[in-house]
Amino acid sequence: MSQQSYLIDTNILIGLEDYHKVEAAYARFLNLALSHKVDIYVHEAAKDDIARDKDPERRQISLSKIAKYRVLKGRRGLSAEELDTSFGPLKKPNDVVDATLLHSLESGATDFLVTQDKGLHQRAQKRSAELGRRVLFVGDATELLVQTYEPKAVPIRHVAEVEAHEIDHRDGFFDSLRDGYPEFDDWWREKCVKQHRSCWVVYDDGNLAGLIVRKNETAGDTDAVSPAQKILKVCTFKVAPESRGVKLGELLLKQVLWYAQTNGYDLAYLTTYEDQASLMELLEYYGFVNAGENNKGEFIYERSFSPNSLARVDGVPDFDLARRNYPRFLLADDTRGFGIPIIEGYHDTLYPDLWNPRQPDLFADASRANVPTRPGNTIRKVYLCRAASNLGPPGSLLFFYKGVSKEPPSQALTTLGVLESVTLARSTKDLMQLTGGRSVYSEEELDAWSASNARPVKVINYLLVSYIDPSVSLAELRTMGVVNGHPQQSIYELRRDLLTALVDRANLEFAI
């Protein structure tokens, strides 16, 4: 298999090389890359970025440290006009550098670009969804390296609900909160512990890895900007730096979104600082909007909720409507639906929360929680197959059927998703690039597909909308008319009446 290669933006270079304590996520990314002999490049255009540093001593030091990395040169004769046409308006010198990096990425000079610059992520996404998936935050790049070269046998994560007093606030997990908020200990004691605020926690190997503190508010007692009656405030949203590579941020956000939708909230909101680019990008992808700033200079991000069915919006594709209103989705007269058979091994990898062995689970206590919930590990998923059947347009509904299995459920429809895209991978390198931002596949698994021009692999990107609880058994599918005779072995399209019947059977918490 071809080794991965990464181009790092100037902000990553500075994060690794500047004279300060290196953040855990940056250090782990570099350590993994070096351990597995993965190429890391710095673009020659980074020198232009650094040259604008007004501190001459720091400028010289930064320029000298570029020599530690392989330098990627740009295409000769590449003009600002060409970059502007391809990657959008170039209003500042830094925009030219950003577009130059994206040009090198798109040309195939490297596989991925790592940057904490939210604007650069958005510029890539506007160019194409495929290019956007190859621009990674440092935590996601770290996760990709871990998943590709150091796959975990049982990737299970639990979110549990506890009260604040059950958490050891002296844990080093809270140190960065104290650094930015000196009154943290007083706030934790007076507001969280004494008021018995509810929290969602994730523990990884016995260590606190993720935390959300939440609070119920009303229209007369809130800092939210948009008018609403029942309001969910996310007081604290934090993932440990060393754990950001396991998609815990997305896991915790899914918990927020499902909780707010299920419990009839009108609005959810939280505040972020300007430097929390990856969190803001995640929030905006799922429909949160920047509603303004509070008196501390924090951005207020808000998302509205409704139990009502969605209607099409002019100019908004069905898939975009679904992700902005997640977990709700559109079921219009022309929405198409498909059944997708999946074998047990891939099912357990994609949906670890449904892994339910008959033998005692050695990892059951990983959360230190008495009653862990099953919110799912991530929202955005990717599934690989060679099914000859075609799928519908983005926004189509996908029902995943788990085949004969040693562990329950067996021969049952378990999961509902919304299609984002289908792409053909014609090489292992294609597979690596196309699954990179959401990979749950190891190097050996990708290589084993032997993707080629003659035998391409379908890369299906989708949103996990819901686990179907209880799952729809084979007997029930036969009664409904979804299955006649033996279960289908390949992707198949559902008749309109069967599609609506299965959506109703999914027992969703919103109207369709």
Of residues 339 and 202, more confidence is placed in: 339
For residues 460 and 383, the answer to whether their CB atoms sit within 8 Å is: yes
pLDDT of residue 240: 85
- What span, in angstroms and rounded, lies between the C-alpha atoms of 243 and 389? 38
Given a cut of 80, whether residue 243 has pLDDT beyond it is no
- How much of the chain exceeds pLDDT 90, in percent? 57
For the residues 1-28, what does the mean pLDDT come to?
Answer: 77
Given a cut of 80, whether residue 150 has pLDDT beyond it is no
Given a cut of 50, whether residue 144 has pLDDT beyond it is yes
Whether residue 327 is preceded by a cis peptide bond, meaning omega within 30 degrees of 0, is yes
Give the residue from 59, 114, 86 showing the smallest Cα distance to 277. Answer: 114
pLDDT band at 155 (very low <50, low <70, confident <90, very high): very low
Return the CATH number of 5-149, one of 3.40.190.10, 3.30.870.10, 2.40.50.140, 3.40.50.1010: 3.40.50.1010
pLDDT of residue 460: 94
pLDDT band at 389 (very low <50, low <70, confident <90, very high): confident
For residues 421 and 395, the answer to whether their CB atoms sit within 8 Å is: no
In the chain, what are the domain boundaries? 5-149, 160-304, 337-505
To the question of pTM greater than 0.85 for the whole model, the response is no
- What span, in angstroms and rounded, lies between the C-alpha atoms of 194 and 169? 14
Given a cut of 80, whether residue 357 has pLDDT beyond it is no
According to DSSP, residue 243 is labeled G
For residues 287 and 323, the answer to whether their CB atoms sit within 8 Å is: yes
Given a cut of 50, whether residue 112 has pLDDT beyond it is yes
pLDDT of residue 14: 76
SS3 at position 464: strand
Q: Could you tell me the two tokens for 279?
A: 């969190």
Angstrom distances, CA of residue 16 to CA of 101, 121, 227, 360 = 19, 20, 43, 43
Mean pLDDT of the chain: 87
Strand order of the sheet with strand 198-204? 160-163, 198-204, 207-218, 230-239, 267-272, 299-304, 289-293
Q: Could you tell me the two tokens for 343?
A: 């074998």
The H-assigned helical ranges of 248-316 are 248-262, 277-285
Of 62-66, 184-188, 364-368, 369-373, the poorest mean pLDDT is in 369-373
For residues 336 and 318, the answer to whether their CB atoms sit within 8 Å is: no
Q: Could you tell me the two tokens for 445?
A: 């698994």
For the residues 173-198, what does the mean pLDDT come to?
Answer: 91
Of 46-55, 161-170, 381-390, the poorest mean pLDDT is in 46-55
Given a cut of 70, whether residue 325 has pLDDT beyond it is yes
Given a cut of 50, whether residue 157 has pLDDT beyond it is no
**Architecture of the CATH domain 337-505:** Roll (2.30)
Determine the topology of domain 160-304 in CATH.
Aminopeptidase (3.40.630)
Given a cut of 70, whether residue 260 has pLDDT beyond it is yes
